[in-house]
Amino acid sequence: MRSWLSAVATAGAAVTLAGVLAPGAALAGAPAPGALPGIPEKLPERSGCVQGSAVVVSQTPWQQVVLAPQRAWPLTRGDVPVAVVDTGVDAGSSWLGGRVEGAGKDCVGHGTFVAGLIAARRGSGGPFAGVAPDARIIDVPATDNTGESSPKRIAAAVTTAVGRGAKVIAVTLAQGRGGDLDRAVKAAAEADVLVVSAVTPADAEHGPVSCVPNVPGALCVGALGPDGRVAEPAEARTDLLAPGVSVVGIGPRGSGNFAGTGSSLSAAFVAGAAALLRAHEPKLTAVQAAARLRATAYRNAVGGAGGLDLYAALTTVGSGSSGQVVVAPPLPTYGPGKARGDGGAVRDALAVAAVFGGLVVAVGVGAVVVPRGNRRSWRPPA
């Protein structure tokens, strides 16, 4: 039954996206193209800090249409500590409502954007909100004022986040790989902390496509676009996929919205989902929570990864001690070839509707024909 209901819900999202993402159309939830300022990952040397945005979106951003976090909020709003290992988080942000623990400074703005995707509450009259609006953010900066970092610096931030009581850690920087970072992530998993990291693309600075070590309790996340197709990158290990293209969020110094793209933002959504799950089922270990998020994802043809399904993760029954989901119903398709926006899920939903329709007709006919037949002892009418 859960898979049928998800197919119907997915069809609704597909219709919405089809209506607003036709070729040449503007992104749902954003004003005219280019009206939202972009959030950078790094700043040029000697540049000033990112200034606040005065633009507030008036429509629901596409990522909220797809993820539908409001379906989860009657169950939980994610009241657990989530560490953000990034450029810092603006503690004065009205969207985060005083729920930032730490230094609370962010010149680049990227860490505040990530924190907003995880935990922002609706503000300034706009519909944007984070996935887990009651999550408490632990600000653990791992860059300088321009956004530059290193695997060793990120490793130290992960260790600090564990020591400060985080239940979930979002590592949303391009981190490369290194012995210190690998050891820090393994130690976090052993301490029952779920580490969510972005799959970072190959470049001259960070080397090949990479993510945190493949250990239980750690997830690598890639980006999906509004059409449900993988945006970046497909070459590395990817455990989950989530929205990461033209995402609407918040920034430092102001109450307006920004836009951003990248797998770092996809990791933020999964970190928010992990917060919801760990708040809803506090007895789940980090290993079990990671397994639940993977097992309840929409199927995707790329490397076995699937698209994040918030509601399914919260409502699927039970996890065994090994972290494997005990009851995992069939899942609707979401991804290349059968993306939410290309009608695959719509066809599934229509098929379900046709079956139900047929049953209703059959029951209705039976309710009329059977009693009449019994009264005539099934003799043909005179």
Q: Which of 6, 53, 86, 309 is catalytic?
A: 86
Q: Tell me which of 210, 264, 266, 319 is the catalytic residue.
A: 264
Known catalytic residue at 239: no
Give the closest residue to 11 by CA, choosing from 351, 307, 340, 330. 340
Among residues 110, 134, 266, 342, the one annotated as catalytic is 110
What are the two backbone dihedrals, phi and then psi, of residue 370, each rounded to the nearest 5 degrees? -60, -50
Q: What is the DSSP string of 109-161?
A: SHHHHHHHHHHPPP-TT-----S-TTPEEEE---S-TTS---HHHHHHHHHHH
| Cα–Cα separations (whole angstroms), residue 305 to 7, 243, 281, 326 | 19, 13, 24, 19
Residue 264 known to be catalytic? yes
Alpha helix stretches (DSSP H) within the chain: 2-20, 62-67, 110-119, 151-163, 179-190, 263-280, 286-295, 310-315, 344-375
Cβ count near 318 (within 10 Å): 12
> Which residues are catalytic, by number?
86, 110, 264
